[in-house]
Amino acid sequence: MSMSDRAPAEHAPSTGLDPILRVLALWRGRAPRLAAGAFLSLLALLAALVLMRGAGARVAALAFGGAVAGMGLLRVSGVARVVLRYVERLVTHDAMFRALADLRVWFFRRLAGGAAAGLGFRRAGDLLSRLVSDVEALDGLYLRIMVPLAGACLVLPFLVVAILPVDPLLAAIVGGLFAAGAFLLPLAAALMGRREAAILTHRLADLRIGVLDLVTGLREIRAFGAEGRMMSHARARDAALLRGQARQARLLALMGGASYLCGQAAMLAVLAAILGVGLGPIPAARGIGLLFLVLAGFESAGGLTRAGALAGGISRAAARVVAVGETDGPPVIAGTQPAPPGTDIRFEQVSFRWQADRAPVFDGLNLDIRQGTRVAILGPSGIGKSTLAALLLKVAAPGAGRITLGGQDLATLDSVSVRRRMAWLSQATHLFADTIRANLLLGRPEASEADLWTALDRAQMGDTVRALPDGLDAWLGEGGASLSGGQGRRIALARTLLSDAPILILDEPATGLDGETERAFLTTLYDVTAGRTVILIAHRLVGVEKLDRVWRLADGRAVAAAV
Amino acid sequence: MSGDKMVMRAWTRAQSRLGRRPAMPVVACGMLAGLVAVGQAWCVASILARGLAGPASARWPGAGLLLAALAGLAAVRALLMAGGDMAAARAGQQARRRLRDEVLAAILRGGPALLRRRHSAELTALAVDRIEALDGFFARWIPASVLWIAVPALIAALAAVAQPGAAAIMILCGLAVPVGQAVFGIGAAVASRNQFLAMTRLQARFLDRVRGIATIVLLNRADDEAGRLAAAADELRRRTMKILRVAFLSSASIDCAMVVALVLIVVRDGGVVQLLRHGGSPAALADAAARSLFVLLLVPEFFAPLRALALAYQDRAHAAGAASAMGDLPDAPAQAAPARDALPALAAGGVAVAFAHVTFAWDAARGPVLDDLSFAVGAGEILTLVGPSGAGKSTIIEMLLGFIVPDSGQVLVGGADLAAMAPATQSALVSWIGQKPVLFAGTLRENILFARPDADEHALRAALDAASVDRFLADLPQGLDTPIGEGGFGLSGGQAQRVAIARAYLKDAKLLLLDEPTAHLDPETEGEILASLRVLARGRTVILSSHAAGARAFAGPCLDLGLDLGQPGALAPRPVPVEEGRHVHV
C-alpha cells in the first residue's frame, strides 16, 4: 500500500546516452541479426523509393500516351516491395526480441551477482517492473529509433540526388523539410517529452508496486477492513499514470501533426515547381515522379517524431535496467582461486560492521573450527550469529582481520567454489513456487529419489510428504503457501541436508519444530553428518546435541563454553 | 472450450458497447479526415493535370489559389489527425481506468483465498499489464471497426463520381481484405492468450526467484535459474512473434490488394487514354488525366482505414485473451454483500465464539481438514489450538477471519452466524497476527496506522508503547518515519511482529486471532513477543494456534487437533466425533 507518494529512491538519474550505450554493448551478441534486420529494412525502403519513382514516371508517361511497356516491371517491383517489407519486419522484430530475452537473462544474472545478502531496500515489484516493462520499452530503441533513423539517413541523400538535377532550389527545400521532419522535430519532441516520458516509467513501476502490495497484503487488508483505502491508493497511482500518459499523448498527437505538415509542405513545393509558382517550372513528367518519391520518403520517416517523444522513456528504461547491479552493501572481493580441499576454518582477529554508523558486530573475533568437527555458536539474537555465516559465505567481507578456509584467505577464493563447500540453512531461506521435488533438488540437482526421501526423513518431514496425494510432486505454492510455517521450514532443512557440501551451517534449524521433534532432529543430526563439519548456530542448546566445541558470542568475540 | 469462447465473445461485445461512445469523436475525426483527403486528392490531381497539359496552361491564374487550398486542407487534416489521436488516447485511458478499477475490486473481493490459486505476480500482471495492453482495443480497434467500412465507402462513392469503373476496382480489391483478415485472424485470440500466458509465466518465475535470490545465489544455482529464465524469455519471444507474424501477414495482404488495385486502374486508364488520343480534344484528354490521377491518389486513402483495421486486429485479440483471464476473477455482485447483517453480541471482556459441526476441505483429493468440528470459547477466554503442522489450526483461524466459509456447519461469533454478517461487521470484530506480517511500502508509521488511519498521535503512542515498538525505534535512522522495504527488510522478525501487535492494539477488536505468531522467531525473542501478546490479550477473547511449547504459557484450555501421520489421509486430522472429548466447553 503505501501510503506515501515519495518518488522511488534512485541513484543518479542518468538519463544521458550512457545507459543506452551500455544496453547496446550488451546486444553485441545479437549484432549480426540486428544488422541483418537493419540491412533488410534499408533494402525494403530502397525498393519502395525506386518503385515509387518508377511508378510516378510511368503514370506521367501514360498520360502522355506513352507505352504501357514497363507495366510488368512495375508489377514485379511492387510484389518485391511487399515481400521485402514482410520479411524485413519479421527479421527486425525477431532479432529485437532475441536481444530483449538476452537482456532479461543478463538482468537476472547481474541481480544475482549482487544479491547474496538479499534484496535489501530494492523492491521485488520494482525489479519486476524493470524486467518486464523497462526491458520491453527498449525494443523502441532499435525498432523505432535506430532502424528508421538509418532509413532517414538513406532517404535524405536519395531525395536530394534525385531532385538536384531537376531544380537545385527545390532540392534544397525538400531536403531541408525532410531534415526538419526526420531529425529536428524528433529531437524537439525528445527534448520536450524527456521529462514526461521518464516520469511515466516510474509511474508505471509505482503502479505495479502498489498493485503487488495490494495483492500480497490481501490477508492484512481483509483482516483490517482496508479494502477501500487500498483501492483508493491504487486508484491514485493509476490516475497519476493516466494523467502522465494523457500529457504524452497530447505531445505525440501534436508532433505527429507537425511531422505530417512537413511532408505536405514538401509536396506543395514540388507542385508549385510543376506549376511554376515561385519555383521551377520543372517538366511535369519528372515532377510527378519526384512527387511520388517525396511522398514515399516522408512516409518512411513519419514515425520518427513519435519515437523522439518516447526517447526519454527509452533512455530512462535503459538506465533503470543497467542500474540493477549497483548495490550499496559492503564490498566483497570476488576471489579467483578455487577453494582448497581442506575445510579447516579460522577467524583471525575479525572485525565487522554492517554500516559505518552502526556499532561493530565483531571486534577481534577469533574462532578455530577444524575439519569434521561439530561446533555450536550460541548467543542471544542480534549478537551476530547470522553475520558469522554471512562472512563465511562471502556475502559480506570483514573490515579487519581475515578468515581462512583450508589455510587460504577467503578473500582470495572464488565465491562460487566457497559456496560449493558450504550448505547454509538461513533464517530467511526461501521456498519457491514449485514442487517439493524441485525445491529439494536446488540443494543437489543430481540427487536420486531415495536421497530426497532420506533428507526429508532426517528433517522429520518424510511422513508428512508421504501422506500427500502428490508426494514429492506436491505443489508448494507461493513462498511455500500450501504448507504451514513449520513444515516449510523443514523442507528448507531437508534441502540443506541434501547438499553434499563438507560444511553445514545451520542457523536455528529447530525453529518451527516442537520440542519433541527438535530433540529427534538434533539426535539424528549427529549420525547423518558423520565426517562433515557442522556449525550449529543457536540461541540455546537442548542438551541432546553431540558437540565437539561450543562458543558463546559476546561483545564481538567468541568465548569457549563448556560442551 | 466453446463455453470459454462464449465468455470471450460476450465480454468483447459488452466492452465494445461501453467503448463506442468515447470512440465517437475518433470516428468523427476519421470521417472528416477522409473527406479532406478526397479534397486533397482532387487539388493535387487538378494541379498535375494542368502541369501535364503543358507549361503554358500550367501558368493559369487559379494555380496559386489551388496551392493555397491544398495548404489549407493539409492544415485541417493535420488538426483532425491530432484531434483524433487525442480523442483515441482519452478513450483508451477512460476504459483502462474503469477496467483496472473492476479488476482490483474483484481481487479485493476474492480476498486471500485467491492467493491459494493464483500467484501474486499473475494477479499483478492481470491488473497492470493485461489492462495496459487493452488500451489499443478501445483507442484503435473500436474506431477502426467503424472506420474501415465508413471511410472506404465514402471514398469509393466520391471516386465513382469521377470514374465509376475505377471505383468498382477499388471496391473489389477492398473486399478481398476482410476475407484475408478472417483467414489470417483465425487463432489470433488464442495466440494472444498464449503470449500473455508466457508473459505471466515469466513474471511469476522471476518474482518468485527474486524473492528468494539469496537462497539461489548461496546454493550456487544462479546459472541454472538464469537458464530457465532464458527459456521462459525465449518462449515469450516465440509467442510474440506468432502474433506479429499474423499482423504482418495481414498488412502485407492489404499492401498486395492495394498494388493490384493500382495496377488495374493504371492499365484500365491506359486504355481510355489510348482511345482518347485517337479522337479526343486536348481538353478531354486533360480531363481524363485529372480523373485518372484523382482516382489513383485516392487508392492509398481507400486502403488506409483497412490497414488500420489490420493493425488493430491484434488489439482485438488481446481483448479476447483478456476476457478469459478476467473470467476467473470473482464476479461483482451478489454474495459479496449479504442483504441482512447479523450483529454479534459483544461483552465488555471479549466475545463468545463457537464452531458448530464445521466441516471444511481445501482440496477434495486431500480430504477434509476439519471434519464435523465443534467447540466453544466464552467471552474473554483464551483457547490454544495445538497439533502438528497441517492439522487445521490455520484453517480455523482463516475461517474466523472470514477468508473461507465452512463447507457445512456454522461459525458463531457473539451468537451471530459469521456468514450472515456484513464484511465490515466481520472485519471490525477481529484482530489477527499471523506468522509474518506483510509490511507495505511506506514508513513504519504508515504501516502501523494501516490498522486505523484516523488514529491520533496519542492512540499511536499508546499502541507503540504497548507493543514495545519503542524498544527498537531508537535504532532506526529516521525513527517512525523510516521507510520499510518489501518483506520488511530493515526489521527483524521480532520487530516486524511488534508492528503487527501495534496494529492489533490500534484496531482494538474484541476477538484476537494469533496464528503461530512466534513460528519464525528464536526462543528469546519468542518469549518477549509472547509477553507483549499476553498484555494485548487482556479484555479480549483469544484463539491462538501454536505448536511451540512456549505458547502454552497462555492460560486456558487446549484444543488438540492431533494428526495421525500413519494414515494416508494426508494433512487432514482424523474424523472428530463430538463425543470423544474433542468438544471443548470453556
Domains and CATH numbers, chain A: 3-323 (1.20.1560.10), 345-561 (3.40.50.300)
Instruction: Return residues 41-100 of B near A (CB < 8 Å).
Output: 44, 47-48, 50-52, 55, 58-59, 63-64, 67, 70-71, 74-75, 77-79, 81-83, 85-86, 89-90, 93, 96-97, 100
Q: Which residues of A touch B517 (CB under 8 A)?
A: none
Of A116, A131, A227, the CB nearest to B214: A116
Contacts 24+ apart (CB under 8 A), A172-179: A173/A266, A173/A269, A173/A279, A174/A266, A174/A269, A174/A270, A174/A294, A177/A262, A177/A263, A177/A265, A177/A266, A177/A269, A178/A152, A178/A262, A178/A266, A178/A297, A178/A298, A178/A301
- Cβ atoms of A23 and A318 within 8 Å: the answer is yes
Mean pLDDT of chain B: 80
> What are the beta bridge partners of residue A552?
A378, A559
Q: State the pLDDT at residue B393.
A: 81
Task: Flag whether pLDDT at B568 surpasses 50.
Answer: no
Residue range B56-103, pLDDT digits in tens = 554 567 778 888 999 999 999 999 999 999 999 999 999 999 999 999
- Cβ atoms of A518 and A489 within 8 Å: the answer is no
Largest CA distance in chain A: 113
Q: Minimal CA–CA distance to A263: which of A215, A226, A300, A225?
A: A300
Of A220, A258, A428, the CB nearest to B437: A220
Mean pLDDT of chain A: 82
What does the block give as the cell for B115? 492467493
Instruction: Return residues 134-193 of B near A (CB < 8 Å).
Output: none
Q: State the pLDDT at residue B123.
A: 87
Average pLDDT over residues B43-50: 85
**d(C-alpha B507, C-alpha B462), whole Å:** 12
Find where cell 511482529 sits. B497
For an interface test with B, the pick among A10, A97, A425 (most B C-beta atoms closer than 10 Å) comes out as A97
Least confident of A279-288, B132-141, B574-583: B574-583
Report ipTM (2 d.p.).
0.81
- Cβ atoms of A295 and A342 within 8 Å: the answer is no
Residue range A325-370, pLDDT digits in tens = 655 445 566 677 888 888 889 999 988 877 666 677 888 888 889 8
Q: Which residues contact B177 (CB under 8 A, 6 or more apart)?
A: B253, B254, B257, B303, B306, B309, B310
Question: Would the CB atoms of B121 and A212 count as touching at under 8 Å?
Answer: yes
Question: Would the CB atoms of A484 and B225 count as touching at under 8 Å?
Answer: no
**d(C-alpha A143, C-alpha A89), whole Å:** 9
Q: Which residues contact B232 (CB under 8 A, 6 or more apart)?
A: B198, B201, B202, B205, B206
Question: Would the CB atoms of A117 and B214 count as touching at under 8 Å?
Answer: yes
CATH value of B353-560 in 3.90.79.10, 1.10.3720.10, 3.10.180.10, 3.40.50.300: 3.40.50.300
Annotate A135-166 with DSSP letters as a single string: HHHTHHIIIIIIHHHHHHHHHHHHHHHHHTTT
What amino acid occupies position B98? R
- Cβ atoms of A520 and A460 within 8 Å: the answer is yes
- List alpha helices for B54-133, DSSP H: 55-58, 62-110, 113-117, 120-125, 131-133
Average pLDDT over residues B28-50: 91
Number of Cβ within a 10 Å radius of residue B538: 11
A439 vs A283, residue with greater confidence: A439
- Cβ atoms of B209 and B229 within 8 Å: the answer is yes
Average pLDDT over residues A74-86: 77
- Cβ atoms of B397 and B405 within 8 Å: the answer is no
**d(C-alpha B114, C-alpha B105), whole Å:** 13
Q: State the pLDDT at residue B121.
A: 80
What amino acid occupies position B274? Q
Q: State the pLDDT at residue B404.
A: 83
Give, in order, the Cα–Cα distances in Å from B526 to each of A406, A447, A536, B290, B491: 37, 36, 19, 92, 15
**d(C-alpha B423, C-alpha B339), whole Å:** 11
Q: State the pLDDT at residue B33.
A: 95
Task: Flag whether pLDDT at A54 surpasses 50.
Answer: yes
Q: Which residues of A touch B434 (CB under 8 A)?
A: 219
pLDDT category at A563 given cuts 50, 70, 90 is low
Residue pairs between chains A and B whose CB atoms are closer than 8 Å: 462
Burial of B94 (0-12, 13-18, 19+ CB in 10 A): middle
Task: Flag whether pLDDT at B27 surpasses 90.
Answer: yes
Q: State the pLDDT at residue B475.
A: 75
pLDDT category at A76 given cuts 50, 70, 90 is low
Q: Minimal CA–CA distance to A128: which of A240, A229, A73, A208?
A: A208
Of B71, B124, B202, the CB nearest to A268: B71
Q: State the pLDDT at residue B113.
A: 79
Q: Minimal CA–CA distance to B365: which of A482, A510, A236?
A: A482
pLDDT category at B585 given cuts 50, 70, 90 is very low
Residue range A247-259, pLDDT digits in tens = 999 998 998 999 9
Least confident of A121-135, A447-461, B501-515: A121-135
Q: C-alpha angle B576/B582/B586, rounded to 5°?
A: 145
**Considering only alpha carbons, which residue of chain A is nearest residue B391?**
A484
Q: State the pLDDT at residue B76.
A: 96
- CA A560 from chain centre, in angstroms, equals 46
**d(C-alpha B409, C-alpha A457), whole Å:** 37
**Considering only alpha carbons, which residue of chain B is nearest residue A6?**
B442
Q: Which residues of B touch A115 (CB under 8 A)?
A: 213-214, 217
Judged by a CB distance cut-off of 8 A, whether residue B525 touches chain A is yes
- Cβ atoms of B20 and B142 within 8 Å: the answer is yes
Give, in order, the Cα–Cα distances in Å from B123 to each of A65, B106, B514: 67, 11, 28
Q: Minimal CA–CA distance to B586: which of B346, B344, B355?
A: B355
- Cβ atoms of B90 and A186 within 8 Å: the answer is no
A177 vs A195, residue with greater confidence: A177
Annotate A383-406 with DSSP letters as a single string: SSHHHHHHHHTTSS--SEEEEEET
Average pLDDT over residues B442-456: 86
pLDDT category at B578 given cuts 50, 70, 90 is very low
Q: State the pLDDT at residue B155.
A: 94
pLDDT category at A410 given cuts 50, 70, 90 is confident
Q: Which residues of A touch B523 (CB under 8 A)?
A: 539-540
Residue range A148-190, pLDDT digits in tens = 999 999 999 999 998 988 889 999 999 999 999 999 999 998 8
Q: State the pLDDT at residue A327.
A: 52
Q: Which residues of A touch B277 (CB under 8 A)?
A: 65
Phi, psi torsion values for B508, nearest 5 degrees:
55, 50
pLDDT category at A557 given cuts 50, 70, 90 is confident
Q: State the pLDDT at residue A492.
A: 87
**d(C-alpha A353, C-alpha B110), whole Å:** 45
Task: Supply the Cα-derived Rg of chain A in whole angstroms.
Answer: 33
Is residue A423 classed as helix, strand or coil in its secondary structure? strand
Name the pairing type of β-strands B382-386 and B408-413: unpaired
Is residue A422 classed as helix, strand or coil in its secondary structure? strand
B165 vs A544, residue with greater confidence: B165
What does the block give as the cell for A76? 514485379
Q: State the pLDDT at residue A352.
A: 85
For an interface test with B, the pick among A84, A90, A108 (most B C-beta atoms closer than 10 Å) comes out as A108
Domains of chain B: which residue ranges? 1-328, 353-560
How many residues are given for chain A? 563
Of A90, A208, A420, the CB nearest to B245: A90
What does the block give as the cell for B576? 472428530
- Cβ atoms of B468 and B532 within 8 Å: the answer is yes
- CA A104 from chain centre, in angstroms, equals 5
Question: Would the CB atoms of A393 and B90 count as touching at under 8 Å?
Answer: no
What does the block give as the cell for A139? 525494443
pLDDT category at A33 given cuts 50, 70, 90 is very high
Most confidently modeled of A66-75, B96-105, B332-341, B344-353?
B96-105
Is residue B468 classed as helix, strand or coil in its secondary structure? coil
Q: B62 to chain A nearest CA, in Å?
A: 10
Q: Minimal CA–CA distance to B11: which of B231, B294, B323?
A: B323
**Considering only alpha carbons, which residue of chain A is nearest residue B52?**
A284
Least confident of A78-82, A166-170, A378-382, A390-394: A378-382
- Cβ atoms of A20 and A315 within 8 Å: the answer is yes
Name the pairing type of β-strands A557-561 and B408-413: unpaired
Phi, psi torsion values for A2, nearest 5 degrees:
15, 150
**d(C-alpha B219, C-alpha B209), whole Å:** 13
Using the 8-state DSSP alphabet, how is residue A132 labeled?
Answer: I
Task: Flag whether pLDDT at A93 surpasses 90.
Answer: yes
Question: Would the CB atoms of B485 and A123 count as touching at under 8 Å?
Answer: yes
Residue range B534-567, pLDDT digits in tens = 888 888 899 988 765 555 667 677 777 764 433 3
Most confidently modeled of A299-313, A375-389, A468-482, B269-283?
A299-313
Q: Which residues contact A361 (CB under 8 A, 6 or more apart)?
A: A352, A353, A354, A383, A384, A387, A556
Question: Would the CB atoms of B256 and A82 count as touching at under 8 Å?
Answer: yes
Name the pairing type of β-strands A549-554 and A557-561: antiparallel
Task: Flag whether pLDDT at A121 surpasses 60.
Answer: no
**d(C-alpha B314, C-alpha B189), whole Å:** 8
Domain covering B1-328 in this structure, CATH number: 1.20.1560.10
Print burial letters for B136-166: b (CB count within 10 Å at least 16), e (below 16): bbbbbbbbbbbbbeebbebbbebbbebbeeb
Q: State the pLDDT at residue A359.
A: 72
pLDDT category at B224 given cuts 50, 70, 90 is confident
